[in-house]
Structure 1
Amino acid sequence: MTSQIDAFQLYYASRPAYVPWTTDNTVTSFGIGINDVYYGFAHNEEPSAFVATLMNRYRPLIEQIYSDGIRKFLFLNCPPSTRSPQVHEENDLPEQFQRHAEMVTAYNEGLNSMLFQFRDDHKDATVVVYDSFQYMTRVLDNPAEYGYKNATCMNTDGSSCVWWNNLHPGWKYHKYQAEDMLPIFAPLGW
């Protein structure tokens, strides 16, 4: 997230003529968490302390683009990455899966809490959170309904399996998720 915000600062914050964005016509979106959650899990971090550290890093970055004039924010929470091929390849004990699931839960709760405070501090900002955890759970519980052979395969073609690699979903999943997200865009002016 830091490098993306840095790039925004460098290329777009000044509102150059080649990107004439305004407060009214611009939405920033953040699909973050899956890598951070796995990092914390893989390094045996305690979930609540690790997530608190993450949110303390995220918040100033969000404040930075808010100070640039961004007022519309879209966040996706962390999907159920406990069900990803990577978590299953590298772990085989129920307590490991439980620990990863606890990290995901702590992350999503921490994100919600941080965003609640951000909204409270910035009444002029519109903050929308899409529940990718709930949506991906629905897809993984019913893969055939979405044209996938199962919930655990992966394929770099991005379409035949939910998983593009061992931790991230493919383009077809993202297309379906984008369609599911359409109703939440109304508060953002879309």
Structure 2
Amino acid sequence: MKSIAITVALSATSLASPTPDLVHRTKRANSSWSGWANVKNLFVFGDSYTQTGFDVKGTQPNAQNPLGNPTYPGWTSSNGPNWVGFLTTTYNASFIKTYNVAYGGATVDSALVAPYTPTVLSLKNQTQDLFLPTYGRDPSSTAHPWTAWDSLFAFFIGINDVGNSWWLENSATLYSQIFTVYDALLEQIYATGGRNFLFLNVPPVNLAPLTLENGEYAVEHEGIAIQVWNEKVRNLTAAFGAKHADAKLFVHDTWRVYRDVIEDPGKYEQTKGIRNVTGYCKAYENGTPTWYTKDPSCAYAVNEYLWLNNLHPTFPIHNATAASIAKFLSS
């Protein structure tokens, strides 16, 4: 198995420690979080690492397919289920209906960081054009009822914001603008009754083949930008929690899961079969007939590569990520 030296700093596992006053006010406000075992509705926002191709106008989540449409595992970038599918069907502690409005290529706001094509739905679009009009109006009386108590809102965003802007000289100002928008979107969801929020921070995609191919400078400086982004996620959630003592916010250290697997795939049961963590095989880059295809031109089967192509990982690390999230939310 190939290896690579990792020089970026280790990120924190969760939110910075709250002040004693914040702890007191959170307890007094009687948080809506009732535990992972009581989550019945999962609303998901993000990019290609999260997308399943869900259409809010199509078949809704149901007992036959808790992700609604399309057929499980959906249209993913992982050549199999992604973390959303695994979390919903493998590591769920109850029956969960998952409404996944994520869109491949998404940034927080296309006006601030342009996606690879103008038709991409940003986090802002996902919130304002999909979630709010379909599920956010009077949740108790809609065709898809949910409550603050039984619902979790999950966000996995930032990979494209960082990837499309890390080299800019004004990145500090840009990130401040992005997180102002991010905060406003959270406020809009909070206004509909959302109280429980899960954030996946940005993994070390500077160690994906796309950046590795561009040399040490790109690896180092995109890695720094990722750490800045992840720190802003922690700051965002801490500040939002200070404003809304009845909200429960979780930051999952997805960066650490990916870093661990890149260092040693055997650290997780789900990834112990991975044999290449730095490259990918061209025969697999657009997907394969099965989740375990072995092409003669490739050294390993598709699921034995961490990377399906130059940016997107295969399903085993999505599996490990979902297992880690469920453990985190249950602790």
Fold match (TM-score > 0.5): yes
Q: 2:192 aligns with which of 43, 58, 68?
A: 68
TM-score (norm 2): 0.52
TM-score (norm 1): 0.89
Number of positions where the alignment pairs a residue of Structure 1 with one of Structure 2: 184
Counterpart Cα distance in 2 of 1:23 and 1:123: 14
Counterpart Cα distance in 1 of 2:327 and 2:210: 31
Superposition map of 1:119-158 within 5 A: 119-143=241-265, 146=271, 147-154=273-280, 155=284, 156-157=287-288
Instruction: Tell me the alpha carbon deviations over residues 120-162 of structure 1, each in whole angstroms, 9 at most, x when there is no partner.
Output: 1110000000000111100111135621111113343563322
Could you say what the CA RMSD is over the residues aligned between the two structures, in angstroms? 1.8
Counterpart Cα distance in 1 of 2:206 and 2:181: 23
Structure 2: gaps of 5 or more residues:
1-122, 292-302
State the 1:170 CA deviation.
2.3
Determine the structure 2 residue equivalent to 1:36: 161
Counterpart Cα distance in 2 of 1:119 and 1:65: 14
| Higher RCO, Cα 8 Å, sep 6+ | 2
State the 1:30 CA deviation.
0.3
8 Å contact from structure 1 (residues 47, 106) kept in 2? no
Counterpart Cα distance in 2 of 1:87 and 1:26: 37
Counterpart Cα distance in 1 of 2:155 and 2:169: 23
Determine the structure 2 residue equivalent to 1:80: 204
Counterpart Cα distance in 1 of 2:157 and 2:126: 11
Counterpart Cα distance in 1 of 2:207 and 2:174: 21
The aligned amino acid for 2:181 is R
Determine the structure 2 residue equivalent to 1:171: 315
More helix by share: 1
Structure 1: gaps of 5 or more residues:
none
Show structure 1 runs of 4+ deviating over 4 A.
none
Identical aligned pairs, as a percentage? 29
Counterpart Cα distance in 2 of 1:170 and 1:4: 25
Determine the structure 2 residue equivalent to 1:8: 131
State the 1:68 CA deviation.
0.7
Further displaced range: 30-39 or 168-177: 168-177
Structure 1 or 2, whichever has the larger Rg, is 2
